[in-house]
Chain A
Amino acid sequence: MTGAAAEATAALPELLRAHIALSGSAIAIAILLGLPLALWAAGHRRARVPLLALVGLVQTIPALALLALFYPLLLLIGGALHLALPALGFLPALIALALYALLPIVRNGVAAREGLDPGVLEAADGVGMTRRQRLWLVELPLGAPVLLAGIRTAAVWTIGAATLATTVGQPSLGNLIFSGLQTENWIRVLVGCAAAAALALVADGLLALIETGLARRSAWRVRTGLGLLAAGLMLALVQPDRATAPTVAIGAKNFSEQYILAAAMADRLHAAGYRTELREDLGSAVAYRAVAAGDIDVYVDYSGTLWANVLGRTDNPPAAQLRAELADALAKRDGVRVLGPLGFENAYALAMRGSRARALGISSIADLARAAPRLRLASDIEFLSRPEWRSVRSAYGLSFAGQNSYSPTFMYRAIADGSADVLSAFSSDGRIAALDLVTLTDPKHALPSYEAVLLVSPRRAHDERFLAALRPLIGAISIDRMRQANLMVDRDVAKASPEEAARWLLRPAPAPLPAAPRSHSP
């Protein structure tokens, strides 16, 4: 077995457990909520249309957006009620998925009730059944096949959609898929997808067993199906024993450098006797709010990002001054501690292929502004909506012939295959040198400084044991070493996992970069 496959399968049991616990609970809640709702709607013709429209509307929201929406919503609700609601992780994922599973359950519930033979219902009343007896003796057994079909649809959807829970900091099989996509580690993606698909098939099969059991009045089928489903869910809901060591949550955004740094922090914390759990693939805004709310304990962010996005500042002081002011403001406002700079910068920069830049005579963003109307921009997904882009655009009067957003990996593909001319690069990205890209200078200083800084949640801000475990990282990572570590993960051949790159990064003496291929296939 290759290293990547071994690593993916080692992570599998815990992620599978988390995935089952989440999707199973969401389906259970949707059933407990959806069946009474369907029953009620079947009896109230006027309520039925608006109710079905409402649960249908929830379905039209993309699952990813629905999950993301619950983060600010829960913060707001928690704030208004003065409750410490966990806005990240299990709760928002659970609510979003349960809402998502509601539609097929309610719709089929109503259909099941409508499909019943009126003669049979009249007979039920005629022999003197109470409403409760009619429900249990007639309506539920006769409606079961249609009802179960709805539950099966909901189960398959929910198990699939639960992979997206990764983006709100809830571990799931999506961890393998998302991090695999970002680092182009297709084995991870494949393991994640296969596990999710297998889980969906098993759940669907057990529900099908219950369905045929009900149809054929075979008690063992119903019992086996229900028993195995319940046992699986119970097993998954039992948390692994965590009492022995304190657990800290490490956050990471959705690119290789963040995975590597998160793995490096995890290494340091393990050495200090902590258990860690990883909340990866967080959006920029979510990550900061998560550390402020204590949903994660530590993560790495970039000074310029915090300056512009969190503090809303548009001025551009020198790096050291910016960092000092930032540390002050975050500590005062949110109690978040800036532990210190890691020693490298990962700035947003505009970059072009070297040959193309030379041919067009472009070396600065000011030069670029003249040629931009004939050029196309490839950016990462966040860049075009960030204040840095607005600032650089207005400072230089940039206007491109076209602009497209990509996930970072595919952004580099776009420039390599010529579908874009300019890209929003990250200065610590190993692919800048590997792809023969040049970064354009910024004579008007429109882009702020982006020192990587370590942020600690208010809860851990004065925990000396915790801080001592992380301090050795401060000032210890040079831009060259970070670029090399990033390239180890991002390159197409002889890829390393983020964990391997992190171990390489933490080695005391700078080691030579393991042999990397010089040429890049597009």
Chain B
Amino acid sequence: MKRHGAQAALDGVSLDVAAGSFVALVGPSGSGKTSLLKTINRLIEPDEGKVTLAGEEVRTLPPASLRRRIGYVFQAIGLFPHMDVAENIAIGLRLTGVPPRERQARAAELLELVALPPHFAGRRPAALSGGQAQRVGVARALAPRPSLMLMDEPFGALDPVTRDELGRAYRALHDRLGLTTIMVTHDMSEALLLADRVVVLIGGRIRADAPPAALMRAEADPEVRALIEVPRRQAERLAALEQRT
């Protein structure tokens, strides 16, 4: 639980994520979803409550070594502008003292994994498009071979086409590498289409927690209903437009 002044940002939240699952945390702005995500890698410390990762309480682990075990991708991307793409990707390895030759090989591997051409290795982040930059961001998070990926609005700043493309590409990686992913998004259709399980947070409380198909069918409370209705009605209107032509 995290309090901001008198108002609790998170209130009585309890969540158990199984290894290998893809969980989307959805909710309006200020619902506490980013705070919840950041308590896992200790970018935010909860005032009460605990987070356990594979049986260990994260509070007992040094933050730096905890974070090296967890992939972290966020909307601002945060590539280091003074390092080239390969150096950015391999930064996690550099922190743990992996020799340069090995780092280079791993960076090349990851460029391929995120479908970027090998010659991007020497580019500066400033020379990348938004989609390319976030591919590098994903590669950087994956380089130390984490089993858990935390993603905070990872595709939020991208144009719709790139966003869709990158979302699907990441989902494929998730399956191929057997990752556990927790993704924060305010976009319900993105959550429904990518995740195995959708957790809806409103006002710091969990208001719904179900697989996408079940969530679509369930008689949820009105606020959750409203969130789901938006993409559903958009889809219906688009379908109607198509029929008229």
Contact = CB atoms under 8 A, between A and B. Distances in A.
Interface string A289-302: 00000000000000
A128 B66 contact: yes
Interface string A66-93: 0000000000000000000000000000
Contacts of A121: 78
Contact of A126 (B65, B72, B82): B72
Contacts of A127: 67-68, 72, 91-92, 95, 140-141
A470 to B, nearest CB: 64
A3 interface: no
A148 to B, nearest CB: 14
Contacts of B141: 127
A129 B140 CA distance: 13
A117 interface: yes
B77 interface: yes
B78 A126 contact: yes
B43 A126 contact: yes
A496 B64 CA distance: 73
A6 interface: no
B134 interface: no
Contact of A128 (B78, B81, B95): B95
Given A128-B95, A129-B95, A133-B95, A217 B65 contact: no
Interface in B65-92: 65-68, 72, 74, 76-82, 91-92
A120 B80 contact: yes
Instruction: Provide the main secondary structure of the chain A interface.
Output: helix
B43 to A, nearest CB: 6
A50 interface: no
Residue among B41, B74, B77, B80 with most chain A CB within 10 A: B80
A417 interface: no
A122 B66 contact: no
A126 B70 CA distance: 9
A115 interface: no
Nearest to A144: B82
Contacts of B77: 119, 123
Interface string B28-44: 00000000000001010
B67 A126 contact: yes
Interface string A127-144: 111100100011001100
Contact of A119 (B66, B78, B91, B92): B78
A125 B76 CA distance: 14
Interface string B178-191: 00000000000000
B37 to A, nearest CB: 11
A128 B79 contact: no
Nearest to A133: B95
B138 to A, nearest CB: 13
B82 A128 contact: no
Interface residues of B, number: 22
Nearest to A130: B64
Interface in A151-202: none
Nearest to B92: A127
B80 A138 contact: yes
B70 to A, nearest CB: 8
A496 to B, nearest CB: 61
Nearest to B75: A119
A128 B67 contact: yes
Contacts of A129: 64, 95
Given A125-B67, A127-B92, A129-B95, A142 B43 contact: no
A124 B72 CA distance: 10
A122 B64 contact: no
Contact of A125 (B43, B80, B91): B43
Contacts of B65: 128
A118 B64 CA distance: 18
Contacts of B74: 119, 122-123, 126
A119 B72 contact: no
Interface string A375-416: 000000000000000000000000000000000000000000
B43, B64, B72: most-surrounded residue (chain A CB, <10 A): B64
A49 B78 CA distance: 29
Interface in A101-126: 117-126
A117 B82 contact: no
A142 B81 contact: yes
B113 to A, nearest CB: 17
A370 B141 CA distance: 93
A121 B74 CA distance: 12
A214 to B, nearest CB: 9
Contacts of B66: 128
A120 B78 contact: yes
Contacts of A122: 43, 74, 76, 78
A452 B78 CA distance: 75
Nearest to B84: A217
Contacts of A125: 43, 63, 67
**Residue picked from B64, B68, B78, B82, most chain A C-beta under 10 Å:** B78
B82 A217 contact: yes
B155 to A, nearest CB: 15
Contacts of B80: 120, 123-124, 137-138, 142
A113 to B, nearest CB: 16
A119 B152 CA distance: 12
Contacts of B91: 127, 137
A457 to B, nearest CB: 57
Nearest to A134: B64
Contacts of A124: 78, 80
B43 A128 contact: no
A119 B141 CA distance: 15
A492 B133 CA distance: 73
A101 B190 CA distance: 56
A123 B78 contact: yes
B45 to A, nearest CB: 13
A129 B79 CA distance: 14
A123 B141 CA distance: 10
A126 B76 contact: no
Nearest to B140: A127
A128 B68 contact: yes
B136 to A, nearest CB: 11
Contacts of A138: 80
A123 B78 CA distance: 5
Given A119-B74, A126-B43, 18 more contacts: A117-B76, A117-B78, A119-B77, A119-B78, A120-B79, A121-B78, A123-B72, A123-B74, A123-B77, A123-B80, A124-B78, A125-B43, A126-B74, A126-B78, A127-B68, A127-B92, A128-B63, A128-B65
Going nearest first, the 5 A-B pairs with the smallest beta carbon separation are: A123-B78, A119-B76, A128-B68, A128-B67, A126-B72
15 contacts: A118-B76, A120-B79, A120-B81, A122-B76, A123-B76, A123-B77, A123-B79, A125-B43, A127-B72, A127-B92, A127-B95, A128-B66, A128-B68, A128-B95, A133-B64
